[in-house]
Amino acid sequence: MENNWIALWTAVKARWEALRREPEAGYSTETVLVTALLVVAALTIIAVLVAKVTAKANGINL
Query: Which tens digits make up the pLDDT trace of 2-40?
Result: 778 888 889 888 888 877 787 666 577 788 889 999 999
The pLDDT of 36-61, averaged and rounded, is 95
Q: What is the pLDDT of residue 56?
A: 94
Phi, psi at residue 59, to the nearest 5°?
A: -85, -5
Q: Is this prediction's pTM over 0.85?
A: no
Q: What is the pLDDT of residue 1?
A: 60
Long-range contacts of 49-58 (CB under 8 A, 24+ apart): none
How far apart, in whole angstroms, are the C-alpha atoms of residue 24 and residue 11?
A: 19
Q: Are 19 and 29 in contact (CB under 8 A)?
A: yes
How far apart, in whole angstroms, are the C-alpha atoms of residue 38 and residue 46?
A: 12
CA angle 25, 23, 4 (to 5 degrees): 65
